Each structure stands twice: as C-alpha cells, then as structure tokens.
Amino acid sequence: MTQKTFGYIRVSSKDQNESRQIANMTKEGIAERDLFIDKQSGKNFDRPSYITLKQMVRPGDTVVFDSITRMGRNMKDTLKEYDWFVDNGIKLRFIKEPMINTSEDQDDILKEAIQKIVLTLLTAFAEKEREDIRERQAEGIKGAKKAGKHLGRPKMSYDTLTKEQKNTLETNYPKWKSSEITGVQFAELLQLKKNTFYKIIKEYETKQKQQTLSMV
C-alpha cells in the first residue's frame, strides 16, 4: 500500500488566515488536496477536519503539523493524541519542533524518554499560553466595560443610518403605510434585517410625532 503524507492546519478563529501554514506545508511538498484545515480553538479535539484526518490515515502514513500548538493547546489531551498516532503506526512531523518528530526507530528508550520530556514541556507551554491569552482578553473586556466602551458591533439606530438610507426611508415610508410595498421589501431597500428595520421604523415614527408636536 502506498504511504501518504498529509498536512493538518488549524487557526483559532474564522477571522484568522491560514495562508502562512499552507505555504509551509507546500514547502514540505504536501499537495493542497492532502491538507486538512480547521478554524477552531485548540482547547479540545472535537474538530471536523481533524476527525476526518484520523479516519483516513493508515499505518505508515505521515501527518505534518506546523507546530505542536496546531495539534492542540490542552496538554493532557494533546499528549494522548500524539500517542494515538504513534500507537497506530502513523509518523508525525512538526515543522517548528523537529525534536519531537517520530521516526521508524522508536525502540531507543533514552531517546524516547527525552522526546517525551520535551513534548510534555512544549504542550504545557502551549496550554499556559492559551490561558494567558484568555486572561488578557478577559482583562481587556473588563477594562473596556469599565471605561464605558461598547463591545462588539455598533448598535443600529435611526441616527446611525446613512444619508441615502434616511432618504430611502422617508421616500418609501408612505408607500409602506399604504401597503404599496411590504415590510420585507422596505427592509431590503434599506438593507436592514427584520428586527432592526422595525426598531428603526419605531424611532422614525417617534421623531415624526415629536416634530409635529413641536410645530403645534
């Protein structure tokens, strides 16, 4: 049976770019069709592409990782996964940490012991780094809230509409009230989601009433 080499790539979120890892895999001679990519946290191994990779690999195959952190950031589980590949006769190669690469000769007890120590330290550092990142994020969020900063996407309101959207609203509001156009059509014209559309309509009607009262 022909032995194959696969590459596994992981970035922590959908916003992160995996292109650097793909470039590194290409340098290793791995075709893109043999790459498995997940955009998920490394806290556990419940990742679709990783699971598929484990189902596909066979004894004698090689799996390449850019770094041990790409395999995972949980020390206990990462050590368990590493052993799973070794126990199933699958070779592992880490571009940034070649000292923990597996080889055909796994019978050297001293070498294996040293490798295990290095692997344990690397996975411990990976988990600690993840904890530090989470702590910094939590502190940043706490600090932002304390400073009164709004986190996440800015809330939409009538005042945040563009000049063009306001013109569209004023032009089509009478048509909507007289049922010439539906609420769905009106929302599409304004490029707003349903809930936001009705919220802004309510604000607009309130402003119109206030303007009318001020003129009385």
Buried b (16+ CB within 10 A) or exposed e, 174-212: eebeeeebeeeebbebbebeeeebebbbeebeeeeeeee
Q: Is 12 annotated as catalytic? A: yes
What torsion, rounded to 10 degrees, do the Cα atoms 164, 15, 27, 82 define?
-170
Q: Point out the catalytic residue in the list 12, 41, 49, 67.
A: 12
Distance CA 29, CA 32 (A): 10
- Please give the structure tokens belonging to residue 39: 């955009």
Residues annotated catalytic, as ranges: 12
